Amino acid sequence: MLKDIIYDEFQDTVSELLLCNRSILDLLAKSQETNARLNKAIIKSVTSCGCLKINANKKKIPTDIPLEELKSLLESHLEGELCKYCREAIETEMGRTFFYLAALCNLLDLNMYDILLKEQKHIKTLGLYNLA
């Protein structure tokens, strides 16, 4: 399957290229740092660029609605679309997040694709009750 090859190739490339930050402590710190940069890039799309707007308020969830219909009532609180500059910045930060996730997987002898398949099976089994 092509997709598992892509994950494996990515993980192998990360393993070949990662010279510094091979310590678990360094990788954990870099992983947290890239996550913070990703959050910052998303926030800047709202606060600096303005291509996105956050319009959030208290969720009004009826008590008599089935769980399956709840998704249609809940919102992301996002308005607008990412401009090309913010999209590029966020994609860059997500890529770095993937890089350090792959590095952690390598260090812990885990396979990203196998983890993805396991998580997909888990969420499909639990369905809507997975994160409720």
Beta bridge pairs of residue 80: 52
Res. 128 pLDDT band, cuts 50 70 90: low
3-state secondary structure of 80: strand
Look at residue 24 in the predicted model and tell me its pLDDT. 93
- Count Cα neighbours of 123 within 13 Å in the Cβ-side half-sphere: 7
- Reported as a single tens digit per residue, the pLDDT across 30-86 is 999 999 999 999 999 999 999 999 998 887 777 787 777 777 777 788 999 999 999
Is-contact 77 42, C-beta < 8 A?
A: no
* List of domains in the chain: 2-129 (1.10.287)
